[in-house]
Amino acid sequence: MRTDTIFSPITLGAIELANRVVMSPMTRDRAGPADEPNAIMVEYYRQRASAGLIVTEGTQPTAEGKGYWRTPGIYTQQQIDGWAKVAEAVHAEGGKIVMQLMHTGRVVVPANRGYEADIIAPSALPCPALVPGPDGTPVPTAMPRALAADELPMIAEQYATAARNARTAGLDGVELHCSSGYLINQFLNPASNKRDDEFGGDAQGRVRFPVMVAKAMADAIGADRVGIRISPGNPYNGMDPIDAHDSFSAFLTALTEENSGHAFAYVHLADIKLEDMDAPAFVRQHWTGPIILNNMLTLDTANQALTNHVAEAVSFGRPFLANPDLVERFREGAPLAKPDYSLLYQGEERGYIDYPPYQAA
């Protein structure tokens, strides 16, 4: 039995963490008018830099990758410059930060963009879920265009370019978002992938494009700076939960160093507690690298996961909202503040950077 705790250091790929507390990605809708990180975003991430690793909110790798209101990008110089300020602030506090690359694919409300751009997906099937528009009211998404097979290498290279841009901005790596019904998940899942070419059909076909993207990112910045975010069975945005075993066993197996030729930094697992799947054990069966475990953890259950070799690190989302000093509170056994959920996606500074540390609370 291991004796690691959340306060023990660890290295994930090329990234050395001072502790095993990871801040999970959370959309907050605070980016500037050009989808650039602004001053309050810099402060938000700086405040939380005592985490061993911060994973940023989902960031669109291209203009076509945006589906939500005021989410940041990483494809213009202005956006790169904004992220450079975020990375500098986090590093100045001794933290590490990676960028989650999130292409929403078909999950697009055009009014959220403020510009004209293509809406793409593996198949011409709209997302069945409603998505918040600019005023927060859920509305139907737009009809996507099915990508042609010869376009897919270009899309993979766009991800690779985004990864290079993140490193240019000074971030320590990137995380590929492969869940929540976004583009990569849309290829993995049979509910959204009805293709009859080599990128569709059975699980081996459906994983081909996601693996192409992961490899392109690894070739661009080194696999040891690329993480993979998954949530098998998550039905969000119209995904079919029934196919979790086939899709994700094929995907994880293809990404192992033995099969891909790349030693990726980690798999970030959001465990939704499926009745027919022990997700951490499932990932261990098909994946040989480090695991970051996520979803509804407490200090005790997080430490248990580390002690029992369920994961190498643990990530927290909602506790970081109102507790920028979460690691210190865990260390001192201090109570956790509760966030104002009405300010998750609005309020600018309020409910974003105005939560005090415990000593000042």
Question: Contact, 103 vs 172, CB < 8 A?
Answer: no
pLDDT of amino acid 3: 62
The class level of CATH for 10-360 reads alpha beta
When mean pLDDT is compared across 74-78, 218-222, 258-262, the lowest value belongs to 258-262
Closest CA to 103 of 67, 143, 148, 142: 67
pLDDT at position 359 is: 81
pLDDT the model gives residue 4: 72
Could you say which of 45, 75, 159, 182 is catalytic?
A: 182
* Tens digit of each residue's pLDDT (9 = 90 or more) over 231-242: 999 999 999 998
What pTM, to 2 d.p., does this model score?
A: 0.97
List, for residues 288-336, the tens digit of each pLDDT value. Answer: 999 999 999 999 999 999 999 999 999 999 999 999 999 999 999 999 9
**Residue 341 appears among annotated catalytic residues:** no
39-47 vs 77-92: helix crossing angle, rounded to 10: 30
Instruction: Report, as an integer, the average pLDDT of 52-72.
Output: 98
DSSP string, 253-306: HHHSHHHHS---SEEEEE----TT--HHHHHHHH--S-EEEESS--HHHHHHHH
Structural domain spans, the chain: 10-360
Tokens at 225, concatenated: 């700076």
| pLDDT tens digits for range 170-214 | 999 999 999 999 999 999 999 999 999 999 999 999 999 999 999
Q: Work out the average pLDDT over 146-157.
A: 98
pLDDT of residue 219: 98
Digit-coded pLDDT (tens) for 15-57: 999 999 999 999 999 999 999 999 999 999 999 999 999 999 9
- The Cα 151–Cα 60 span in angstroms is 18
> Is pLDDT above 90 for 2?
no
Return the structure tokens found at 10.
Answer: 């660890």
